[in-house]
């Protein structure tokens, strides 16, 4: 990695904080935590979900058109093995942080950003908890330089508060993230059919929400956690 980050940092009179650092979660380790939280069935469900999400790559062009299939988001991967490992391994990232010209970093998910899109409630909650457990454990030795951000489910304020209490009180998270909108079935459109197949609207978990999220926001204030 060739850059002048460390040199530039040495000329500054203030610390450099990375407010939006994303790590690359080690998937095999995540699955170990998921197995601990939700059992082998949750791991199987997650693998099935991933395979379904990758269906675009297995489909022919006519099949993509016929089913209006969406390609999943992707990025190019670095050709430098050390840099790839740095994004995966907190000890190595901690070691190289001065080289990057950074004093402190908030660590956000990458794969984890998709977790709050999981439709199955049980798998969703298990994956959230597994991610938070893994992240807390892996970054705990480096708390002087990193503040990982916990994922919160927010389909209801009660589940958001429950995970908030766990993340902050039991695992020491100082910041949390949640989905700012929830896809909910339109009541009239869901009558007599599978709610998962009904037309939906976007609940911004604020104005006109069917749930009162004020207790959740107040709990965030009480705990002094960044959202």
How confident is the model at residue 3, as a pLDDT?
Answer: 73
pTM, 2 dp:
0.90
Strand partners, 175: 149, 226
Burial tier of 21 (Cβ tally within 10 Å: 0-12, 13-18, 19+): buried
Express the helix, strand and coil content of the chain in percent, nearest 5 each: 50, 15, 35
Q: Please, are residues 92 and 85 in contact by the beta-carbon 8 Å criterion?
A: yes
Q: Within a domain: residue 182? A: yes
Q: Within a domain: residue 147? A: yes
The CA distance from 43 to 108, in Å, is: 23
Q: Within a domain: residue 41? A: no
Q: Please, are residues 186 and 213 in contact by the beta-carbon 8 Å criterion?
A: no
Q: How many domains does the chain have?
A: 1
Q: Within a domain: residue 188? A: yes
How confident is the model at residue 216, as a pLDDT?
Answer: 97
For each successive 10 residues of the chain (227 residues), what is the average pLDDT?
81 95 96 98 94 89 92 82 95 96 96 92 97 98 98 96 98 96 85 80 90 96 97
The CA distance from 113 to 118, in Å, is: 10
How confident is the model at residue 2, as a pLDDT?
Answer: 54
Place of tokens 């979900």: 49
Q: Please, are residues 182 and 205 in contact by the beta-carbon 8 Å criterion?
A: yes
Q: Within a domain: residue 161? A: yes
CATH assignment at residue 193: 3.20.20.140
Q: What is the pLDDT of residues 182-227, one digit of tens each?
A: 988 888 887 888 777 788 889 999 888 999 999 999 999 999 999 9
Give the domain range for residue 215. Answer: 5-26+81-223
């Amino acid at each position: 990695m060739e850059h002048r980050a460390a040199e530039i940092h040495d000329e500054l009179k203030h610390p450099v904080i990375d407010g939006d650092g994303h790590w690359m979660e080690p998937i095999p380790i995540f699955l170990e935590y998921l197995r601990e939280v939700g059992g082998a069935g949750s791991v199987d469900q997650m693998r099935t979900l991933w395979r379904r999400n990758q269906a675009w790559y297995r489909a022919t062009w006519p099949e993509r058109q016929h089913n209006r299939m969406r390609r999943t988001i992707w990025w190019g991967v670095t050709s430098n093995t050390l840099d790839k490992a740095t994004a995966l391994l907190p000890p190595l990232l901690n070691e190289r942080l001065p080289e990057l010209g950074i004093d402190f970093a908030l660590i956000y998910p990458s794969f984890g950003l998709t977790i709050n899109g999981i439709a199955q409630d049980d798998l969703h909650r298990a994956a959230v908890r597994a991610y938070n457990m893994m992240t807390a454990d892996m970054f705990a030795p480096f708390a002087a330089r990193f503040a990982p951000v916990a994922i919160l489910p927010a389909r209801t304020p009660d589940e958001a508060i429950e995970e908030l209490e766990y993340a902050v009180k039991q695992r020491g998270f100082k910041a949390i993230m949640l989905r700012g909108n929830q896809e909910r079935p339109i009541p009239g459109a869901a009558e007599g059919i599978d709610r998962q197949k009904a037309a939906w609207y976007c609940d911004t978990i604020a104005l006109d929400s069917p749930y009162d999220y004020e207790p959740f926001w107040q709990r965030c204030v009480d705990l002094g956690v960044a959202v």
